[in-house]
Amino acid sequence: MSDTPKDKNSTGLGTFYAHLEDGQLVMEPYCSCGNQLDENYNCDSCGKHSQCTDILCEDQATLKLVEKYIRSSPKFRNFNALLGKKKSAKD
């Protein structure tokens, strides 16, 4: 545990964790420290406000769908898609 006080004004790089549920894309925002972010992209654990630009995809099917969105949707244009597992808060 760190003795550093939580700085609510600091900004970090977070990641969306993407997976498919019943054929639908689900993206959950996570802080770089491994904790899930709230609806405003703030971390209750470390106090950072995250800018999520990477989308970590659970499997190849999810990656293909996210890459399709990145190519075809202006809303996804500034994101990067990666294949991998989400980081747990313990890592």
Residue at 1 is within a domain: no
* pLDDT computed for residue 63 by the predictor: 97
The residues with which 26 forms a beta bridge, in sequence order, are 19
pLDDT tens, residue by residue, 37-71: 999 999 998 989 988 999 999 999 999 999 999 99
Tell me the two tokens of residue 65.
């769908």
| CA pair distance 24, 5, nearest whole angstrom | 39
Instruction: Check residue 88 and give its pLDDT.
Output: 59
Whether 57 is covered by a domain: the verdict is yes
Extract the tokens encoding 43.
């971390």
- Classify residue 16: in a domain, yes or no: yes
Please identify which residue in the block is written with the tokens 């970090």. 12
> Sheet containing 80-83: which strands, arranged edge to edge?
24-30, 11-21, 49-57, 80-83
Name the residue with tokens 């499997």. Answer: 59
Q: Is residue 19 part of a domain?
A: yes
* Count of the separate structural domains present in the chain: 1
- Which structural domain, as residue segments, surrounds residue 66? 11-82
